[in-house]
Structure 1
Amino acid sequence: MDIETPPVLRDTPKAQGDRRGLVMVHTGNGKGKSTAAFGLAVRAHGRGKKVKIYQFMKVPSARFGEHRLFEQLGIPIEGLGDGFSWKSRDLAHSAELAQAGWSKAEAAIRAGEHFMVVLDEIMYPLRYGWITLETVLTCLRERPSSVTVVLTGRNAPAELIELADTVTEMTLIKHHFNAGVPAQRGIED
């Protein structure tokens, strides 16, 4: 590792625009997309901002680590699905749940009552055609200017990336699964 001298002067210009709601996308094959979105939600909540989290692939009764923490913090989180497609017993029902979930999320975004709305794992129902991309894009374009929307999931569509203000791609460099280490509570949940 090379040692660097710490900068003593700012190396980027200070932004001059107005503060406004953002569209943020966390995508890619690496780990950390949902975790990053949850970190933003906690940060906003810590500043007294109203936050709502929708999880498109988790069941409403899910009790993963994030659900337990958000319950303690008073951050509403809602599962909208019936698990990942390989766990579903009825994909038509999964599609119906995704569409009903999108209706809830869209209403929350358009109402403008939340500083931040997180749409966790929304890329799956988009890719499967359960929710139309144009409906999501239209909502994002028409949302109140004060609302930030964070969308997560692998393979974000190019149109969404183009619309977004901030896009982060999580890149897989190394993963413990490849060494045969299974998912662990507190890390993958």
Structure 2
Amino acid sequence: MSITTRVLTGEALEAALDDVARLRIAVFRAWPYLYDGDLDYERNYLRAYQSPGAVVVAALDGTRIIGASTGAPMTDHADDFAAAFKDRTEPLEDIFYCAESVLLPEYRGHGLGHAFFDAREDHAQRLGARYCAFCSVMRPVDHPARPVDYRPLDGFWRKRGYAPLPGVTAHFSWKDVGDSVQTEKSLQFWMRQL
């Protein structure tokens, strides 16, 4: 396996957004997101990553993008996240938002998760950010779709210096696989100082 990673910004980032959209649809279909997505929604969602401070870290097997990790200044997402951070002392302009990391299952376990975080944190520091934050979906432990062998990523995130921010949650709606309507989900924010 000859996997490489590339940091994409500007035109290179824009050229990769359809690949990122397809990966999001495929990877987030599994637990814990159970996301039943479509390309039109994804293209609209990924517009936030056309900002000057945005980054996509692409994992490639040859020339094929098999994983991607996105990030942008939190101010690019202020409409979505300002309410969650209203009681925090950190200004939104000091926070870099590490959005999704999506990787096809057959490529997991080779250190790409660390490569994704390393590249986004480096990018954030170059932009002058003082913090990196991300959010993860919160599902009940007894959810019927939870796989028996599921291992949450909390340990991985904590080893990288991230901790959950008590009471700092975002709320988004999407349609779960097998459902006919969207339902609201809560997402827990995690953050670390750079």
Fold shared, TM-score > 0.5 on shorter chain: no
Higher strand share: 2
Higher helix share: 1
Q: TM-score, normalised by structure 1?
A: 0.28
Which structure's CA Rg is the greater one?
Answer: 1
